[in-house]
Amino acid sequence: MPQIIPVAVLLQIIGSFFFAYSAYLQDKVVVAEVAESDNQHRLDFATLWVSIRSPRWLLGLALMGLSLVCQITALSFAPVSIVQPVGVLAFPWSMIIQSRAHKVPIGAQARLAVIVTVAAIFGFISIGGFNAAPEARLSEVGVLIGALVAYLCAAALGTLGARGARQWRCLFWASGGAVFYGLEASLVKSLMEFAKASSWVNSAVFWATLVALVIGSATAAWMVQQGYATGPAELVVASMTITSPVVAVLFGIAVLGEGAQLGPVTATCMILLGMIAIGGVIRLATLHPQFEDAAAPADQDLPAS
């Protein structure tokens, strides 16, 4: 498919909303079930099995699937280094959903942080879009090395999530899952490029990449559920929206060659805008209202969106 960046951005915006609402729904179920279990600091398989039978959790899973469809379709229209940063918008969406559900207004400073974050992201997208490489430059060895590095980083974060300081476990679990999600977007893009560039049926690297994608996706889902069990949904979403785009952009530039046409000035501008967007998300994480009904029944009426 030809590059149609505005369509890709729109799809990813829609997908970011689906992701944020999915996080809200699944968090309520997992927190309620963990609160009733013997182990209130970690999600075990028995508690997860009870959670996934909840209609609310399954609706969240369906929305997560729609988010994934939007992301994959967007990746067919634009580079991963353009598509994935739009996912930062999931955190402002999450704040709005929580605010509406709990009838707690978002303060003026938080609204300003949302505006700055959105403006920085769209500045990043605009510069990247005008300077995007017309096609990816794949290196089979580079893809495998990039995936291995991401796996090691996610494993380290997962270890900290399981054994680290309790107040930081949610952040570590979510960040580990976010590394896998950022890698997931990059590997999907890599598979698309492999399919266009070679006889993928006979490519060992193609199938190895596919296996890494499936294993990483399953592990990411588990780590995110652990994040819900050990902290608020907004922190999980915030951690993922910071980490996942960084991983995807680094992979796109370092492995897929998507930054080949970036000059020093444009690259510097993108870095600054990315830092502003990340700073905006961090600021939102410190400003968002506290919501206190985490232990509400898992299948109560869904809030208006």
Top mean-pLDDT range of 3-12, 261-270, 287-296: 3-12
Confidence at residue 300, expressed as pLDDT on a 0 to 100 scale: 45
Read off the pLDDT of residues 218-253 as tens digits, 9 standing for 90 and up.
898 889 888 888 877 777 877 777 778 778 777 877
pLDDT at residue 3 greater than cutoff 70: no
Cα 264-268-272 angle, rounded to 5 deg: 175
Confidence at residue 154, expressed as pLDDT on a 0 to 100 scale: 92
Angstrom distances, CA of residue 40 to CA of 85, 90, 228, 297, 299: 34, 27, 12, 16, 20
Confidence at residue 294, expressed as pLDDT on a 0 to 100 scale: 39
Taking residues 41-45, report their average pLDDT.
Answer: 64
If you write DSSP's letter for every residue of 97-151 in order, what string do you get? Answer: HHHHHHT-PPPHHHHHHHHHHHHHHHHHHHHHHHT--SS----HHHHHHHHHHHH
Taking residues 172-179, report their average pLDDT.
Answer: 89
Cα 287-305-285 angle, rounded to 5 deg: 15
The residue that leads in pLDDT, 166 or 60, is 60
Confidence at residue 36, expressed as pLDDT on a 0 to 100 scale: 66
Going from N- to C-terminal start, the domains of the chain cover 5-287
Confidence at residue 86, expressed as pLDDT on a 0 to 100 scale: 84
Read off the pLDDT of residues 48-84 as tens digits, 9 standing for 90 and up.
777 788 888 899 889 988 998 998 898 888 887 778 7
* Model confidence band, residue 10 (pLDDT cutoffs 50, 70, 90): very high
Confidence at residue 129, expressed as pLDDT on a 0 to 100 scale: 65
Taking residues 122-143, report their average pLDDT.
Answer: 72
Task: Give the Cα separation of 217 and 222 in Å (integer).
Answer: 9
Taking residues 183-212, report their average pLDDT.
Answer: 80
What percentage of residues in the chain have a pLDDT greater than 90?
Answer: 8
Q: What share of the chain is helix, strand, coil (3-state, %, to 5)?
A: 80, 0, 20
Confidence at residue 95, expressed as pLDDT on a 0 to 100 scale: 79
